[in-house]
Structure 1
Amino acid sequence: MTSTDFPAAVPAPPTARTIRTFHPRRGRMSSRQTEALDRLWPVYGLHVPERPGTPVDLAALFGRRAPVVLEIGSGMGDTTAEMAAADPGRDYLAVEVHTPGIANLLDLVERHGLRNVRVAQGDALDLVAGLPEASLDAVHVFFPDPWPKSRHHKRRIIQPAHVALLRSRLTPGGTLHCATDWAEYAEAMRKTLDADPGLVDAHDGFAPRPAHRPVTKFERRALRADRPIFDLIHRRS
């Protein structure tokens, strides 16, 4: 496979759910990223199946049975790589649609010798639909697109139907951890998560910033602009 064969985003299959929570984006890649994508994708990569709900065997994907963390929207991969390096007992499955970000994470995986990271390309919700129930130890949704215009709120990933799907894939006691720098979205997230009957707020409101969550590029940008950061951590009851 070559980088020219790698699509910028998996085409949306014809399903009842046609509203996407992301913008497929193209971007230039450095020669290092291109080389990493060509060489490492067959080893660590997973195309999200075009048919939502197609079963995904996590043990086969990682070559072992261990708790799995799902990272939705891993961006350039720095956060995923740092967390996985500090947490070798769990496996990290990062889902992203932006090809340069996928390539960069693959490069980080090799440079840091990370055996517990796999990278999926496509719609995270289609991937989650194919995972067994109670198969994830945690789901991380860090700084998702806030879709600030009211007419676009239906595209937000944190909404009741999506949360119910994510929660169903968590093990009992597993965590759904969200973070945003968009105050209005933070309040909407909190209401949606609190309303889910199978989730319990681990901090009775916004959580203190967890030490295990690295500072992301989005977070640095928000802090420079004096925007507060909101973390929400809920557990499956």
Structure 2
Amino acid sequence: MPIRIEDPFHDPTQNLNTDVNPFLSKMREGMENGSLPVLYGPRLKPLQGAWRSEFANTMAKPPEDLVLEVGSHKGEVLKKMAANHPDTGFVGVDITFKRVVTLAEKAQTLGLHNLRSLLCNGRALEQVFEESELSGALIFFPDPWAKKKRQQKNRLINHEFLLGLKKILKPGAFLWFKTDHKPYFDQVLPIAADLFAIEPAPQGIPSEIYTSRFERHFTEQGLPTYEICWRNSK
């Protein structure tokens, strides 16, 4: 069940019956009793500009770097990054209860104290993170909304979204994008060119190999995928 409300501080669970979706009660209980590293609704409000303090509660010290995944799905990529970089704080954002809970459960099982799973619309990120708060962001295989031409307006990545993302990325932060949809890739390139600098030889996390199940599926089918890494040049 995806959330469509863009207000990140609205509690989307308050009028829902927990019998309808088993992940709803898991998410609610996990946040309230602290058994899962999951956050949503009003609990997000005080965290803007305070994410390092939030991670300091479970890490040995506040992380110097914060990395965001927009559309974390079930967390396959993010859990690997968090395990490889235990001194970095990782935040996964998605819009379905199942995906948010699944990522949080994986983090809990693996003891990844540097990972948080958020129920949040990607268009609301400026309200959740402070200006220049993030060291990097990744967007892997977002929905291209390609079945019908009129659906293209639903694509997440547009000028408004990238402009907001640029504000919460610090100077020099990376933005890593992957997709299997060439028209979507071609649409994003000129928009991003006005806001970011292409990174010809990625360093740090974007230089490492992280493949999602989507990417492996396309590779197994002999289908091409497209990726690019930018740096925030402001």
Structure 1 alignment gaps of length 5 or more: 1-7, 16-26
Q: 1:202 aligns with which of 199, 204, 217?
A: 199
Q: Distance in 2 between matches of 1:225 and 1:34?
A: 35
Contact persistence 1:11–1:50 (CA under 8 A): no
Contact persistence 1:53–1:129 (CA under 8 A): no
Deviation for aligned residue 1:52: 9.3
2:52 is aligned with 1:62: no
Structure 1 length as normaliser, TM-score? 0.77
Contact persistence 1:68–1:136 (CA under 8 A): yes
Two-structure CA RMSD over aligned residues (Å) = 3.1
Deviation for aligned residue 1:51: 10
Contact persistence 1:145–1:156 (CA under 8 A): yes
Aligned pairs for 1:103-142 (under 5 A) are 103-142=101-140
Deviation for aligned residue 1:91: 0.5
Structure 2 alignment gaps of length 5 or more: 9-19, 57-61
Contact persistence 1:83–1:213 (CA under 8 A): no
Deviation for aligned residue 1:60: 3.2
Distance 1:55 1:110, change over 3 A: closer
SS in 2 for 1:192: helix
Task: Report the identity percentage.
Answer: 23
Q: What is residue 229 of structure 2 aligned with on the other side?
A: 233
How many residue pairs match? The answer is: 210
Q: Distance in 2 between matches of 1:104 and 1:113?
A: 14
Q: What is residue 143 of structure 2 aligned with on the other side?
A: 145
SS in 2 for 1:227: coil
SS in 2 for 1:191: helix
Structure 2 length as normaliser, TM-score? 0.78
SS in 1 for 2:129: coil
Contact persistence 2:6–2:123 (CA under 8 A): no
Q: Distance in 2 between matches of 1:53 and 1:112?
A: 27
Distance 1:147 1:52, change over 3 A: farther
Q: Deviations over 1:182-219 (max 9, x none)?
A: 111111121221132xx101129x9xxx5524211111
Q: What is residue 175 of structure 1 aligned with on the other side?
A: 174
Q: 2:215 aligns with which of 213, 219, 237?
A: 219
Q: Distance in 2 between matches of 1:88 and 1:55?
A: 22
Q: What is residue 41 of structure 1 aligned with on the other side?
A: 31
2:154 is aligned with 1:161: no
Contact persistence 1:71–1:95 (CA under 8 A): yes
Deviation for aligned residue 1:97: 1.4
Contact persistence 2:48–2:129 (CA under 8 A): yes
Distance 1:114 1:36, change over 3 A: farther
Q: What is residue 86 of structure 1 aligned with on the other side?
A: 84
Bigger mean CA offset, 170-179 vs 215-224? 215-224
